[in-house]
Structure 1
Amino acid sequence: MLKLFTSWDEEVHLIEQVIMKRAASGGELTILEAGCGQRWPLNLGSIQYNLTGVDQDAEALRIRTEIIKDLHQGIHGDLREIDFPEHSFDVIYSSYVLEHIDGAESVLRNFTRWLKKDGILIIMIPDPESVRGFITRFSPHWVHILYYKYIIGHKNAGKPGYAPYPTIYDKVLYRKNLQQFCTINGLIIDVRAGNGQFVLGVGILDFILKFITKLIATLSFNKLSSDHVNLLYILRKEE
């Protein structure tokens, strides 16, 4: 059974506490935000850290470096191709990025190599084995754009610098495969949890979409989950 969060704030608070605990050992933390997008959602209080952001979307990175200005280093590049020295980072944070990468396993290998011993790898992904993940995998990208624009209300959806991005779902992201990757590559799973929050809409639309979600889960003999949408992994590299 997955631990289920009831809100984004609860999930973020746990991540912040894990990073702060890592900082308790002393010294400045080195943090990589892998797929940094436009904003850093964490509040790490007074701890000292150096934040490196990498993103393949040049416009999102421009907004982050020229307007938000909270990165110490901003790098435009592909996580499959860029390189850092081994044991460069105390923390690697990747939020809703890996599902968009064809060859995500190679990125995970990079993360493992770049992470210091006993370092923390935080991964957030939509669960490909949830009902929403199933729908995402088998629906065209233009449908995702319409959903973001007209259901969620993101008027810039699909424009340069703005989600949604095409979804790939590399096979390593399936729960059993990711657990096997961790075992083989010396990563300990400290936390594996689901987020039940599903932004649907309002009124009758919300009711209809929830009904459809439950129906698809039932028709799949509950192989597809309807009680969560996203997954959070907090992994630790063995010493």
Structure 2
Amino acid sequence: MSEVRSVARSGDLFEQRLREHCAGQPIRRLDVLVAGCAHGEPLVLDHIETRATGADEDLPAVRKVVEERADLVSYSLGDLRSVPLPPRGFDVIQLSFLLERVRHAELVFDRLLQALRPGGLVLLRVRDRRSAYGLLDRLTPGWLRRLLWRALVLPGTPGPLPAVYEPLASSDGLHAFCLSRGLMITDDERATSGPARARRPVAALVSLVSKLTSGRFPASHDEITMVIRKPQHHFARLI
């Protein structure tokens, strides 16, 4: 398993890995699939054109954000197990806070990976179901999440979005998935972001959950950040 290191901003890591990926290659344009495009995090690299295509579930909060994004050349909203994506059509998949809120997460990830070219990168951010925030998020009733959402998050945060948290939304789940598909995890880091950091009441509840579970669900982080590479040639059975 990869060594876990602290990270200040995952954007810095992603930019660094993208520059390394492009170095020495005759790349004039990066085709990027933004999966989880309710979160506006456009990739911008000097001297390299990026062409971003979005894909997400068709939820009112998601549609509202996506329709306002100016960095996407096109987008598809719907069932991510069957959303139309060109096979091996993208150099990079930017997977932002999606896996924890969808059902059939492994099937969705497999579908997205089919659209990634050999040697391509997955820039992944996911809420950790094994964190105190992840446990609190998935155990909070939907009606209460809707009632408190605007008071507990920063203005403009889309949601509340579903809190499914299948086993894939965890370090162990992601490592097992990548091992079974022949994918290489080059970076595996932890951070605290979003609602867990934005408001004191949430931070206090997260600390309480950690104490009540004797640290089995830690308050030290809520986000997993990974860079995953699809090898040029490998034995993967699905991709």
Do both proteins adopt the same fold according to a TM-score greater than 0.5, normalized to the shorter chain? yes
The secondary structure found in structure 1 opposite 2:13 is helix
1:17 aligns with 2:19: no
**TM superposition shift of 1:115:** 1.2
- Aligned match of 2:197: 199
| In 2: Cα distance, 1:209 partner to 1:70 partner | 32
Identity of aligned residues (%): 25
- In structure 1, give the amino acid aligned to 2:16: Q
- Aligned match of 2:162: 166
- Aligned match of 1:70: 71
| In 2: Cα distance, 1:118 partner to 1:148 partner | 40
- In structure 2, give the amino acid aligned to 1:26: P
1:231 aligns with 2:232: no
- In structure 1, give the amino acid aligned to 2:170: Y
Cα 1:18/1:228, change in 2 over 3 Å: same
**TM superposition shift of 1:169:** 0.9
- In structure 2, give the amino acid aligned to 1:80: R
- Aligned match of 2:237: none
- Aligned match of 2:91: 90
State the TM-score, normalizing by the size of structure 2: 0.83
Cα 1:86/1:147, change in 2 over 3 Å: same
| In 2: Cα distance, 1:39 partner to 1:196 partner | 18
- Gap regions ≥5 residues in structure 1: none
Cα 1:17/1:141, change in 2 over 3 Å: same
Question: Does the 8 A contact of 2:197 with 2:203 survive in 1?
Answer: no
| In 1: Cα distance, 2:135 partner to 2:110 partner | 26
The secondary structure found in structure 2 opposite 1:106 is helix
**TM superposition shift of 1:231:** 0.8
Cα 1:200/1:87, change in 2 over 3 Å: closer
The secondary structure found in structure 1 opposite 2:163 is coil
State how many pairs are aligned.
225
Across the aligned residues of Structure 1 and Structure 2, the Cα RMSD in angstroms comes to 2.3
Question: Does the 8 A contact of 1:20 with 1:47 survive in 2?
Answer: no
The secondary structure found in structure 2 opposite 1:72 is strand
Question: Does the 8 A contact of 1:34 with 1:92 survive in 2?
Answer: yes
- Aligned match of 1:221: 214
- In structure 2, give the amino acid aligned to 1:69: A
The secondary structure found in structure 1 opposite 2:197 is coil
| In 2: Cα distance, 1:224 partner to 1:211 partner | 14
Q: Deviation per CA, 1:32-65, whole angstroms, max 9, x where unpaired?
A: 0012126234332331122111132365446544
- In structure 2, give the amino acid aligned to 1:40: E
| In 1: Cα distance, 2:149 partner to 2:117 partner | 37
Match of 2:179 among 179, 183, 188: 183
Cα 1:77/1:212, change in 2 over 3 Å: closer
- Gap regions ≥5 residues in structure 2: 233-239
Bigger shift: residues 38-47 or 128-137 = 38-47
Match of 1:5 among 1, 4, 7: 7
Question: Does the 8 A contact of 1:36 with 1:61 survive in 2?
Answer: no
| In 2: Cα distance, 1:52 partner to 1:195 partner | 26
Question: Does the 8 A contact of 1:99 with 1:169 survive in 2?
Answer: yes
